[in-house]
Structure 1
Amino acid sequence: MDSRSLLTLSVLFVLIGGNKGQKPTVTLRPKFPQVYVGDDVTLICNRKGGSKPTRWFFNRAPQTHEDYLMLLIAVTPKNNGVYECEQDETRSDPYTLTVLDLEPYAQLSPSIGGAVMTKGDGRNLVLQADDDLKNWSCFVLRGVSTFSLALDVDEEMKRAAIFAELKEAERATFFCKKKKADLRSNAVTLKMTELMVMLVPPVIPALQGEHVDLRCVVWGGPELKNAVFYKDSREIKTSHDGTYIIINATQSDNGNYSCRATYRFSHISAEAALKEGDSDAQELKVIGGPPAAVISASTNSLQCSCPHCPDDCTSYHWYHTPLNDPYTRKKLPESDEFITVKKEGQYKCRSDCGKGFSRFSNIYNYKAQPVEFRHMWYILVAALILFVIIIVLIIVLMWRRCGRMDIQAPGCDADQDRLVMSVRYVR
């Protein structure tokens, strides 16, 4: 064996030996400054030269998951704890995951549609925050790689938009962060399907006690004859409008949902044949969610409270939305528990808890009484009171003049007749 071969073997031996003792590392994607309830996050077990299979441990207990990626959907405080992974009998250092039972600072939501898109499709996601959106940046996580996205800011409408597309990824998570700060939006996860029929769950996490709409949609917008919905491969309902509504969601509604649609492209041809197709299965996870604020009102005096919030939730944020523009939201300067409103529109509030917020309260619709009507009402009431006073004075004067005696004073009968006639005339 020549010296070149010996050198090659030596290098290989060093590389193999060096990689064997190296610890794997658990990392979080996306790289959130804080993780909030309802987020989709991925834990990655990675090391240079590492290989599959991978063993995972949660709070020291071994898990059945063996892939080097561990996807956690709609996390809650139940996911709090220590995560470790093991490759080639070498275990990583512990990684502690903390999920805040609060909502993030800003809100990211789709302008239309749900959580599932066809391949090659895209849609706008709208960003709303309390401050200037020029200081925000948005990103997308596809697989294990994060990419920046262009943010289109509308200063007049106090919102911004990004164009969300999956490219070739089966799922992608979109989120925004404020520059030079730890403030961020919620994360929106979109999933891809290559089938004609789609089971579309809502983008936001399903919250316990609220209603959840599942839609069976066919690409191209054909005439839908009926849709059969399945939970965990078991038929649960047939719908003619393609919608399955869970009225009061609980954790018993957790599962994998799909649908089978019967449809016809009647807008292309009146004689178009009926077709059938199945959707992909989509996971639904119902979570408790952060505590919600509550508005109580007395006419135009509003009070914001959060009975189930932590003790460090000490201030409030108030918001106004015009009745003619449901997508515009303006933060009001008040931060107290009580406010008095004068402007028509929709009002809601939330409690500020330092690292996050409570859920938004119920919406209070305030419609001011028209000024013209108020003034007319005052005039009518004043005229009625004046009329009553005049009638009472006339009766008292006549009573004093004629008295209660059996002998009537001269002219009393005529005066009484005139009084009766006057009252009748007024009526």
Structure 2
Amino acid sequence: MDMRSLLTLSVLLALIRGNKAQKLTVSLRPKFPKVYAGDDVTLICNREGGSKPTTWYFNRTSSQTHKDYLMLLTAVTPDNNNGVYECDQGGTKSDPFTITVLNLEPHAQLSPSVGGAVMTKGDGRNLVLQTDDDDLENWSCFVLRGVSTFAIGLDINKEMKRAVIFAEFKEAERATFWCKKNKTVLRSNAVTLKMTELMVMLVPPAVPALEGESVALRCVVWGGPELEEAIFYKNYTPISKSSPEGTYTIPKATQSDTGMYSCHATYRYSHISAKAAQKEGESDAQELKVIGGPPAAVISASTNSLKCSCPNCPANCTSYHWYHTPFNDPFTREKRSENDESITVEKEGLYKCRLDYGNGFSRFSNIYTYKEQPGEFGYMWYILVPALILFVIIIVLIIVLKYIRCGRMDIQAPGRDADQDTLMSVRYVR
């Protein structure tokens, strides 16, 4: 083979390799093996190719053009996000990528100890991990910043049966945090935090807003000044009058409440100086997405007997999980050993349940409050009432017997006196 032929072959091989390298692929971040309702996920189109105008196709019919290769899906649901995703860059189309969203909750819960979904740049926040097992040493936690995933430290408190991670942005504008049990597919929900550089923040909840539940939006100013007025906006239109408390509450959220919310705050740093000047500021607009969410369990109770059910859940429930929280520690959640539909409780505290479907759970039930003392008194009542009745009967008998005895003495005494007086009178006449 001559030199020209070798050169031609080399060019052809390079072109073939180049074409293979340019093949578009769709990948998912975080790399969740299962996607649950309420997750925030990012689709990436050929990340290695750089930032290019990208057209996204959903179920091969609708399309959406983005400036780069990323498409963010927030608070996903089976109705809105189940299907096939494809991307196109410059006429080259990717292979289809399928997303299936489970209408269930994952196996562990991750939630902020305080605060909501928005933090200022450079700030941090503790996230609390709670699981059904005591094997927290076998859990690991991660953060997605941009398109890169990093492991983060987990501080375990064995006595409290929970763990804490410290959430921060580093250089990212948003970050998604989650935890996973090692060598399994079990994981927690994902918590997404968003960064703002403004003094005024509109803070939505850090977990998905669920249809039918109360949702509170807070207008917060960095540094904790005295808030004199807060006006809230939805899609840049005022929706509330001034609120000195800085909170706008949606009592019963519906999907029509989905939108971009912001606030305008008037405030003073009066804790620094009594003559502090009045200041004003606007927040960033933050997305609030209301979803239906997985069906919720329901507790019905008769004294200390509790029953767990879920009218809107699938029928293939494998078991029931029951949880107890003491009155003096609202962050503790102890899983009980019972896995049956009904249980009997004796320990005071807060109780809730959920249904296990193997690959996920129903939503937690309503909370049932049980107090020991009323229960114990109700049980003792069956002993106290008969004893009280017997005591009353004895007292009544004693009084009646005493009355009868005294009555006889009173009747007999006058009779005897009368006879004696009669005899004396007869003797005197004689």
C-alpha separation in 2, matches of 1:373 and 1:336: 27
Specify the alignment match of 1:418 in structure 2. Answer: none
C-alpha separation in 2, matches of 1:124 and 1:49: 36
Task: Give runs of aligned pairs for residues 121-200 of structure 1, distance below 5 A.
Answer: 121-131=123-133, 132-200=135-203
1:72 aligns with 2:76: no
Q: State whether residues 20 and 88 of structure 1, in contact with CA within 8 Å, keep that contact through their aligned partners in structure 2.
A: no
Specify the alignment match of 2:23 in structure 1. Answer: 23
Structure 1 unaligned spans of 5+: 403-407, 415-427
Q: 1:113 aligns with which of 112, 115, 118?
A: 115
Specify the alignment match of 1:417 in structure 2. Answer: none
Q: State whether residues 303 and 375 of structure 2, in contact with CA within 8 Å, keep that contact through their aligned partners in structure 1.
A: no
C-alpha separation in 2, matches of 1:92 and 1:19: 16
Specify the alignment match of 1:235 in structure 2. Answer: 238
Q: Tell me whether 243-252 or 44-53 shows the greater mean CA deviation.
A: 44-53
C-alpha separation in 1, matches of 2:383 and 2:109: 48
SS at match of 1:325: coil
Specify the alignment match of 1:419 in structure 2. Answer: none
Q: 2:372 aligns with which of 348, 352, 368?
A: 368
Identity %: 73
Specify the alignment match of 2:274 in structure 1. Answer: 270
C-alpha separation in 2, matches of 1:82 and 1:412: 107
Q: Give the superposition deviation at 1:213.
A: 0.3
C-alpha separation in 2, matches of 1:163 and 1:289: 27
Q: State whether residues 24 and 50 of structure 1, in contact with CA within 8 Å, keep that contact through their aligned partners in structure 2.
A: no
Specify the alignment match of 2:227 in structure 1. Answer: 224
Cα gap change, 1:376/1:183 in structure 2, threshold over 3 Å: closer, same or farther? closer
TM-score (norm 1): 0.88
Alignment root-mean-square deviation, CA:
2.9
User: Deviations for 1:30-57, whole angstroms, at most 9, x for unmatched residues?
Assistant: 0011100000000111165466111111
Structure 2 unaligned spans of 5+: 414-430
User: Deviations for 1:261-292, whole angstroms, at most 9, x for unmatched residues?
Assistant: 00011111111110100000000000001001
SS at match of 2:392: helix
Q: State whether residues 344 and 368 of structure 1, in contact with CA within 8 Å, keep that contact through their aligned partners in structure 2.
A: yes
Q: Which has the larger radius of gyration?
A: 2
C-alpha separation in 2, matches of 1:194 and 1:299: 53
Specify the alignment match of 1:46 in structure 2. Answer: 46
C-alpha separation in 2, matches of 1:288 and 1:189: 19
Cα gap change, 1:49/1:273 in structure 2, threshold over 3 Å: closer, same or farther? closer
Q: Give the superposition deviation at 1:65.
A: 2.8
Specify the alignment match of 1:299 in structure 2. Answer: 303
User: Deviations for 1:241-264, whole angstroms, at most 9, x for unmatched residues?
Assistant: 110000110011111000010001
User: Deviations for 1:346-367, whole angstroms, at most 9, x for unmatched residues?
Assistant: 1111100111000011111111
Specify the alignment match of 1:352 in structure 2. Answer: 356
C-alpha separation in 2, matches of 1:282 and 1:369: 47
Specify the alignment match of 1:326 in structure 2. Answer: 330
**Structure 1 counterpart of 2:164, one-letter code:** A
Specify the alignment match of 1:37 in structure 2. Answer: 37
Q: State whether residues 50 and 69 of structure 2, in contact with CA within 8 Å, keep that contact through their aligned partners in structure 1.
A: no
**Structure 1 counterpart of 2:136, one-letter code:** L
Q: State whether residues 255 and 290 of structure 2, in contact with CA within 8 Å, keep that contact through their aligned partners in structure 1.
A: yes
Q: Tell me whether 386-395 or 142-151 shows the greater mean CA deviation.
A: 386-395
C-alpha separation in 1, matches of 2:346 and 2:47: 61
**Structure 2 counterpart of 1:75, one-letter code:** V
Q: Give the superposition deviation at 1:387.
A: 3.8
Cα gap change, 1:375/1:136 in structure 2, threshold over 3 Å: closer, same or farther? closer
Specify the alignment match of 1:424 in structure 2. Answer: none
C-alpha separation in 2, matches of 1:253 and 1:100: 23
Cα gap change, 1:173/1:383 in structure 2, threshold over 3 Å: closer, same or farther? same
SS at match of 1:224: strand
Specify the alignment match of 1:61 in structure 2. Answer: 61
Q: Give the superposition deviation at 1:202.
A: 0.4
Cα gap change, 1:236/1:183 in structure 2, threshold over 3 Å: closer, same or farther? same
C-alpha separation in 2, matches of 1:13 and 1:234: 60
Q: Tell me whether 373-382 or 303-312 shows the greater mean CA deviation.
A: 373-382
User: Deviations for 1:315-366, whole angstroms, at most 9, x for unmatched residues?
Assistant: 1001111111111111111000011111111111110011100001111111
SS at match of 2:137: helix
Q: State whether residues 57 and 64 of structure 2, in contact with CA within 8 Å, keep that contact through their aligned partners in structure 1.
A: no
C-alpha separation in 2, matches of 1:352 and 1:258: 38
**Structure 1 counterpart of 2:34, one-letter code:** Q
C-alpha separation in 1, matches of 2:398 and 2:91: 108
Specify the alignment match of 1:281 in structure 2. Answer: 285
Q: State whether residues 104 and 356 of structure 1, in contact with CA within 8 Å, keep that contact through their aligned partners in structure 2.
A: yes
Specify the alignment match of 2:425 in structure 1. Answer: none
C-alpha separation in 2, matches of 1:248 and 1:413: 84
Cα gap change, 1:117/1:409 in structure 2, threshold over 3 Å: closer, same or farther? closer
C-alpha separation in 1, matches of 2:280 and 2:160: 43
Cα gap change, 1:93/1:357 in structure 2, threshold over 3 Å: closer, same or farther? same
Cα gap change, 1:210/1:170 in structure 2, threshold over 3 Å: closer, same or farther? same
SS at match of 1:239: coil
C-alpha separation in 2, matches of 1:383 and 1:62: 78
Q: 1:308 aligns with which of 309, 312, 334?
A: 312
Cα gap change, 1:164/1:264 in structure 2, threshold over 3 Å: closer, same or farther? same
